[in-house]
Amino acid sequence: MSRLRALALAAIALVLASCAKEPDVTQITVQRIFGECRSAGAGARNPDGECEIINGLLDQFQRENPDIRLKVNIAAWPGYDQLSAQFAAGDPPDLVTMHMSAISDYQSRGLIEPMGPGLESAGVDPAAFTRAAREGVTKNGQVWGLPFDNWAPLWHINLNQFRQAGLVRDGQPVLPTSADELLAQARQFRAATGKPYLVQAMANETASYTRNLYTWLMTQDAAFFPDPKHIKLATPEAHRIVALFKQMYDENLTTKDQDYPAATSGFMNGDGGVYLVGTWMIGTFEAESHTPGRPLSGGYAVVPYPRLFGTRDTAFVDGHAWVVPHRDRTPQQRAAVYRLVKFLADHDYDWSRTGHLPAMQAVIDSPRFKALPHRQAIAPLATIGQTLPPQVQRQFAIQDIIGDEMASAITGRKPIDTALADAERRVNDLLFHLL
């Protein structure tokens, strides 16, 4: 009898459980870059790495919002081949990381939504963004993304070698203020250390050439995009920049024939004095400076590019943003997307630990951000940093064309003026044939 009673009670419990209302869970798809790091052993993890921080933030959001389920796709950098295929299949993600320089490509084709109304509903005010971040996501008076950061190429400096070359004063690196001064200091550095002054990724990494050109054209106040469909590069302003880098190359004042991994490891191994690379490497090099016996031990500094040309203090910047692709969504999904957007905006400081500049002015101004290593040195970029005109499309392709032609000029395969004229012609042809 007790067995029959137990079976009856179990049956009643099963019926009651089946009648209980399942909790409402809304699923949204988030697509990001920044790599995969969950498989790394604990000892290999970098707590300030892009991958580790974004994983931690999305995990935290999931814990704090059990009524939302995040399906996270990890796209190979920069992510646009995968995203374009998803648009073609009619199944884009709900929220995706996008470089500010790529927003115009998708916005102009109606593939992403303006985010102003959604940001307002979530309590995110674009007036709170830094100037550089706000300009990077704004086009035709509308906001097309939540800025997550700004990044810029920087001068990462081996202070130990600078001391050896007599280029440190009051603990700070002595920086050139003109092209002639750069050449003089680079020659002094080479004579004292036997090493090239610059470390550059020059093989299969032509983007850095273009970013150098953009920054020093901006300091000369050169309107090199007179309108969104034309570029102007066959100019004295561009010639003097390329001529400087060719002179550095010809005099062996820079490393040569290194790709990105080789240049990065080379700088850490003491192969040269200044590595031209972005904000994302600050944490790695800072860790090296605290490792006894390493070339950067007790001797690492990082600064924005010095102004070698012109009279304007500015620098080329890009940045990462979160954008919302056009697709059918339920009201619950839309609300979930903007709840995550608000969470990411609120945790902008956490992301700034990567080395990238915060997108929120309040974070830039905060004591905890200023207390992070080297942040006060680079913080001005949030104010003086400048993106390309937001209406310019195909900025990644343009970057590759210009870098390819600059490499030809710097290594002597083409005369400088020919290379610049060819770059101008190729970019204008690309922009003319945009659909």
Give per-residue pLDDT as tens, 346-383: 999 999 999 999 999 999 999 999 999 999 999 999 99
Do 26-151+318-386 and 153-316+393-432 show the same overall fold? yes
CA separation for the pair 247, 396 (Å, rounded): 27
Judging by DSSP bridges, how do beta strands 26-32 and 95-99 pair with one another? parallel
d(C-alpha 40, C-alpha 207), whole Å: 29
Asked if 86 contacts 92 with a C-beta cutoff of 8 angstroms, the reply is yes
What number is the average pLDDT over the span 407-435?
96
- Under 8 Å between Cβ of 346 and 338: no
Is 344 a residue whose pLDDT tops 80? yes
Q: Which of 34-38, 39-43, 306-310, 431-435 has the highest mean pLDDT?
A: 306-310
Half-sphere exposure of 188 (CA within 13 A, CB side): 17
Q: Please tell me the predicted confidence (pLDDT) of residue 14.
A: 52
The answer to whether 207 and 397 are in contact (CB under 8 A) is: no
* Tokens standing for residue 224: 């090199």
Please provide residue 12's backbone torsions phi and psi, each rounded to the nearest 5 degrees: -65, -45
Residue 241 vs residues 210, 248, 409, 416: alpha-carbon distances, Å: 11, 11, 11, 10
Taking each helix axis from N to C end, the angle separating 207-219 and 395-410, rounded to the nearest 10 degrees, works out to: 90
Least confident range of 191-200, 203-212, 415-424: 203-212
Question: What mean pLDDT is predicted for residues 34-39?
Answer: 86
Fold (topology level) of 153-316+393-432: D-Maltodextrin-Binding Protein; domain 2 (3.40.190)
pLDDT score of 13 more than 60:
no
Mapped onto helix, strand or coil, the DSSP state of residue 241 is: helix
User: Is pLDDT at 202 greater than 70 in this prediction?
Assistant: yes
Q: What is the CATH number of domain 26-151+318-386?
A: 3.40.190.10
Q: What is the pLDDT of residue 1?
A: 47
Please count the residues of the chain.
435
Write the CA distances from 35 to 51, 233, 262, 287, 290, integer angstroms.
Answer: 6, 35, 20, 20, 25
Is-cis flag, bond preceding 78, omega within 30?
yes
Mean pLDDT of the chain: 93
Among 12-21, 141-150, 227-236, the minimum mean pLDDT is found in 12-21
Structure token digits, residue 351: 């992301």
Dump pLDDT digits (tens) for 80-134.
999 999 999 999 999 999 999 999 999 999 999 999 999 999 999 999 999 999 9
Predicted confidence at residue 206, as pLDDT, reads: 82
Non-local (6+) Cβ contacts of 231 within 8 A are 224, 225, 398, 423, 424, 427, 428, 431
Tell whether the model's pLDDT for residue 406 goes beyond 50.
yes
The closest of 342, 380, 344 to 361, measured between CA atoms, is 380
Choose among 93, 71, 72, 70: nearest CA to 82. 93
Decide: residue 181, CB within 10 A, 0-12 exposed, 13-18 middle, 19+ buried. middle
Token pair recorded at residue 66: 């059990």
Rg for the chain (alpha carbons), in Å? 25
> Residue 147: is its pLDDT beyond 70?
yes
Q: 261-276, pLDDT tens digit by residue?
A: 999 999 999 999 999 9
Token pair for residue 223?
Answer: 């309107």
> DSSP state, 127?
G
| Domain boundaries along the sequence of the chain | 26-151+318-386, 153-316+393-432
Q: What is the DSSP string of 39-102?
A: TS-GGG--TTSHHHHHHHHHHHHHHH-TTEEEEEEEPPTT-HHHHHHHHHTT---SEEEEEHHH
- Residue for token digits 């979930």? 336
Handedness of CA 403, 409, 414, 419 (dihedral sign): positive
Residue 23 neighbours by CB distance under 10 Å: 7
What pLDDT is attached to residue 3? 57
- Please state, in angstroms and as integers, the Cα–Cα distance from residue 323 to each residue in 23, 30, 92, following that order: 29, 10, 11
Of 76, 366, 410, 418, which Cα lies nearest the Cα of 256?
Answer: 410
pTM of the prediction? 0.90
pLDDT at 12: 55
Cβ(325)–Cβ(80) below 8 Å: no
Structure tokens of 199? 């470390």
Give me the helix-helix angle, 236-250 and 416-432, nearest 10°: 130
